[in-house]
Amino acid sequence: MKRSDYEKARMKAIQLLEKAHIVITEEEKNRIEVADFGLGRLDIFGLQILTYVSTERVCAKELIMFPRQTCPEHRHPPFNGDPGKEETFRCRWGKVYLYVPGEAVENPKAIIPEEKKKYFTVWHEIELNPGEQYTLYPNTPHWFQAGDEGAIVSEFSTRNSDEYDIFTDPEIRRIPIIEED
């Protein structure tokens, strides 16, 4: 991802936080991470992340999503004696469609490019609106997509272990590579 695209996405994330009346500090604005998952299609596959706290035991983040932006299917497996990350998503603004194991919805609200659909295997749809939340247990395959206006989701979890995430799509790289313009 080009540095200029990274900075544009970070500024857009800040604007969405302001629109949602979520106040963050200048220092936090500078720490917003932009993840394109190595796919180079940030408008479709991506996530903007502000980590408030990340210790050996707990983590709290804001997940800022642009309209129809998708966090691809993944799971948080056990590692080094840890059972894997457990996380609760609480929708703060907008709408988010969360997909988990269970009975598949007949007409999903999420839109996935045809060439990537094979990497989305769970289709039980949970619609989260502001004030609604859902808890995911370790090693549960899941993915989510923002609605038409975008979404902001607070994530409260056990120890942050993103570097161990396993994505269904083998092309995905969780940690972004930034290229200078």
Q: What is the pTM of this model?
A: 0.95
d(CA 48, CA 13): 7
Which band of pLDDT confidence, cut at 50, 70 and 90, is reported for residue 15?
Answer: very high
pLDDT at 124: 98
Q: 6, 46 in Cβ contact below 8 A?
A: no
Structural domains in the chain?
3-167 (2.60.120.10)
102: burial class by Cβ within 10 Å (0-12, 13-18, 19+)?
exposed
**Residue 153: how many CA atoms within 13 Å on its side-chain side?**
32
Nearest to 81 by CA among 115, 56, 46: 56
176 pLDDT higher than 80: no
pLDDT, averaged across the chain: 96
Do 112 and 120 touch, CB atoms closer than 8 A? Answer: yes
Within the chain, strands assigned E span 33-35, 47-54, 58-65, 70-75, 87-100, 124-128, 133-136, 142-158, 166-167
Enter the tokens of residue 164.
């161990």
pLDDT for position 101: 98
Per-residue pLDDT of 117-154, as tens digits, reads 999 999 999 999 999 999 999 999 999 999 999 999 99
Structure-token pair, residue 7 = 């900075």
Say how far apart CA 2 and CA 40 lie, in whole Å. Answer: 9
pLDDT tens by residue, 67-124: 999 999 999 999 999 999 999 999 999 999 999 999 999 999 999 999 999 999 999 9
CA distance linking residue 63 with residue 145, whole number of Å: 11
Q: What is the pLDDT of residue 58?
A: 97
User: What per-residue confidence (pLDDT) applies to 173?
Assistant: 87
d(Cα 178, Cα 16) in Å, to the nearest integer?
23
Tens digits of residue pLDDT in 43-68: 999 999 999 999 999 999 999 999 99
The amino acid present at 161, given as its one-letter code, is: S
Average pLDDT over residues 10-26: 98
Q: What is the pLDDT of residue 9?
A: 97
Q: What is the pLDDT of residue 175?
A: 75
The 3-state DSSP class for residue 157 equals: strand
